[in-house]
Chain A
Amino acid sequence: MWSKHRFYDNGYKDGFAHGRIHGLIEGRALGREKGFEMWEELGFYEGVAAMWKAIYARQGRQDDRGFHHALQLLELISQFPRTNPSAESSDVDIPKLFRQIRSRYKALCATLGVKASLRASGTGSPSAEEDGTEPSHDSGNGSKIWDLSSPAKSKTGQDLSF
C-alpha cells in the first residue's frame, strides 16, 4: 500500500515540475503576444494623438475641444504600464484603462470628423479611415498593417429588433 503512494507522489511531483516549465514557457509567449497586440493598438492611438496635438498647436487652436481630447488621450496612454510588475503590486485596472483610452480616441475622431479605426483585432468592427489624406487600413487582419486597399465595405449588420 505504502509503496503505491510513493509512486503516485513521485509521479505527481515530476508531472508538476514538468508542467510548471511548460506553463512558464507558454505564459511568457502569451504575455509577449498580448503585450505586442496591446501596444500595437496603443502605439497607434499615441501616434494619432501626438500628431493632432502638434497640428492643433501649430494652428494655434489650443482652445479647440479636439486639442483637449488629444491631450487627455496622451495622458491616459502614459498611465499604461510599460514594465512588468508582479500581479499583486499592480493597481492599474488594465481593461478599464483600455476602455477609457478607446473612448477618448473615438471622441477625438468624432471631433476631427474622421472615422475611428479600432486597432484591436477581434474586437469591434473593422472600419476604414475615410479621410482622403491617409491610407486606408485593413485593421481586421493582424499581419497586414499598412495595406493600401480600397476602404472596407461598411458592415451590414442584421437589423436587430429590440
Chain B
Amino acid sequence: MNVDLPATVECLAELEGHDDRAWHVAWNPTKPILASCSADKTVRLYHYRQETEASSSAIAFNPVNTIQTGHTKTVRAVAWSPSGQTLATASFDTNIGIWEQEPAEDEEDEDDNAGYRVTTGEWECMSLLEGHETECKSVAYSSSGSLLASCSRDKTVWVWEVHPDADFECMGVMMEHSQDVKQVAWHPTEEILASASYDDTIKLYIDDPSEDWFCFATLTGHESTVWSLAFSPNGRYLASSSDDLTIRIWERVEQHKWECVKIIDGIHARSIYSISWGVGSKELEDSDHLGWLASTGGDGKINVFEIKAPTTGSDSASVRAPPSHRLIAQVQAAHDVHDINCVSWCSRPGYENLLATAGDDGSVKVWRVARIKQ
C-alpha cells in the first residue's frame, strides 16, 4: 500500500455465495440493492443499510435473494433499468433475461428511517430476448430506460426498444465489429451507444430520424482488445480500457466526433478488464472535478484516479489540453491471487464513494473510498 495516496480504500464487505467465478456487479440506481452474477448461472441480490448517520459508519450487506435464472450457461452481465424495477441478464447461452420482482408482503425493515422496505417477492422472468448466435457478453439500459443494448461474440450489437409489459422491439442489429464485442455502454444523457471489441476498436452508434441505428464513428488507437468502457458523468469524455494495459480517454470534440486526448499507462500489469467512472466526492471548491475513475483487472489491483477537466488556456490552443488524472487510492491483490472481472461505482446519492468488485474467486467485495482528512 502506498502511504502517500490522498485517499484510503476500506473493505466494507466480502460477499460469498457464488459457486463459481463472479463476473459482474450492478448497483440498483434507486434502491439499496446490489446485484451480482456468476458462472454458476445465478444472480444474487444483497440489501445494504448504513448503520448510523455518520459517514464513517459501517454498512451492513445482507443477501436477500438468489435468482435461479434458468439460463443454461454462465450469466456474464447484469444491468438495472434506471427505474430500478427491472433487471436484465446477459448469458453465454446467447439469451437475455428480463426480470421483475413480484410484489410480496413487505417485511418490516428495522430501520424505518431508511424509507425502504425489504420486499421478498420472487423474481420472475418477464421476457427472454433471443437473437444472438453466440455468447452474450454485456447488456445495458440507456439513461432514459427506453432502450436496451446487448452485444455478443457473434460480433453484433443489438438495440431493443423497451415497451410496457416487458415487450421489447428489435430496433437494429449492427455487425460493424470484425470480432467478439465485449461491452456496450450508453452515454449518460443522450442516446449514443458505444461498443468495445476484441478487434481493438470502439464503435459509436446513433439512430437516424427513422429510428434506424448505425455506426457513426470508430475509435482506433488501442493495440489490443478493448474490454471496458465508461462515459464521464458529464458526458463529455469516454474512457476505455484494454488488453494493451492502458486506459484511453476520448473527448467529444464535435457532436459526432470523438478524439483520443489521453493515454494512461503503467497502472496495471495485466489486462484491464473493467473500468467505472463515478462522480466521486469532490472538495467543495473543485469546479473542474470530472469524477473518479476506477480500474481493475487480471493483476488483482484496484486503482482509483481523480480526473479533472483541463485548465483552459487564454489562447485558442490548436492542441486540445487533456484532462488531468491523479491516482488517489489503490488496493493490491483485492481478491487475493484472483482476477477481478468487474468494478462498479454506486450511483445512489450519499453512496457515491462505494465501489463493488466481482472476482474469479466467486466473491463480491464492497469498498469505500475516503479522502484522508488533513
Using a CB–CB cutoff of 8 Å, the interface residues on chain A facing chain B are: 65, 68-69, 72, 99-100, 102-104, 106-107, 109-111, 115-116, 124-125, 127, 157, 159-162
Contacts and interface: CB of A to CB of B under 8 A. Distances in A.
A100 B74 CA distance: 30
B173 A110 contact: yes
B156 interface: yes
Given A124-B133, A157-B135, A162-B137, A104 B210 contact: no
A125 B133 CA distance: 7
A65 B133 contact: no
Interface string B156-174: 1010000000000111111
Nearest to B169: A65
Interface in B1-53: 21, 39
B170 A65 contact: yes
A110 B129 CA distance: 8
Nearest to B73: A159
B306 interface: no
Contacts of B173: 103-104, 106-107, 110
A161 to B, nearest CB: 7
Contacts of A127: 133
23 contacts: A65-B169, A65-B170, A65-B171, A69-B170, A99-B175, A99-B176, A102-B175, A103-B156, A104-B173, A106-B173, A107-B173, A110-B131, A110-B158, A110-B170, A111-B170, A157-B135, A159-B39, A159-B73, A160-B92, A160-B135, A161-B39, A161-B74, A162-B182
B131 A109 contact: yes
Contacts, number: 55
Nearest to B92: A159
A151 to B, nearest CB: 14
A159 B23 CA distance: 14
Nearest to A160: B135
Interface in B91-133: 92, 129-131, 133
Nearest to A68: B210
Nearest to B157: A103
Nearest to A102: B175
Interface residues of B, number: 28
Given A65-B169, A68-B210, A103 B134 contact: no
B251 interface: no
Contact of B170 (A72, A107, A115, A124): A107
Contacts of B170: 65, 69, 107, 110-111
B335 interface: no
Contacts of A115: 130
Secondary structure call for the A interface: helix
A125 B152 CA distance: 14
A109 B212 CA distance: 16
A125 to B, nearest CB: 6
B74 A159 contact: yes
A132 to B, nearest CB: 16
A106 B130 CA distance: 11
A97 to B, nearest CB: 12
B153 interface: yes
A73 B223 CA distance: 35
Nearest to B160: A110
A69 B173 CA distance: 11
A68 B173 CA distance: 14
B180 interface: yes
A48 B210 CA distance: 22
A157 B21 CA distance: 19
Given A157-B135, A161-B74, A162-B180, 15 more contacts: A65-B170, A65-B171, A68-B210, A102-B175, A107-B158, A109-B131, A110-B170, A111-B170, A116-B131, A125-B133, A157-B134, A159-B73, A160-B92, A160-B135, A160-B153
A109 B171 CA distance: 12
Contacts of B176: 99
Contact of B169 (A100, A111, A161): A111
A109 B132 CA distance: 11
A98 B154 CA distance: 15
Please list the 10 inter-chain residue pairs (A to B) with the smallest Cβ-Cβ separation, ordered nearest first. A110-B170, A103-B173, A107-B173, A110-B131, A106-B173, A99-B175, A103-B175, A107-B170, A111-B170, A65-B169
A127 B131 CA distance: 11
A125 B153 CA distance: 12
Contacts of A103: 156, 172-175
Contacts of B39: 159, 161
Contacts of B182: 162
Contacts of A106: 131, 156, 173
A113 to B, nearest CB: 9
B305 to A, nearest CB: 25
A111 B168 CA distance: 9
A99 B131 CA distance: 16
A64 B210 CA distance: 12
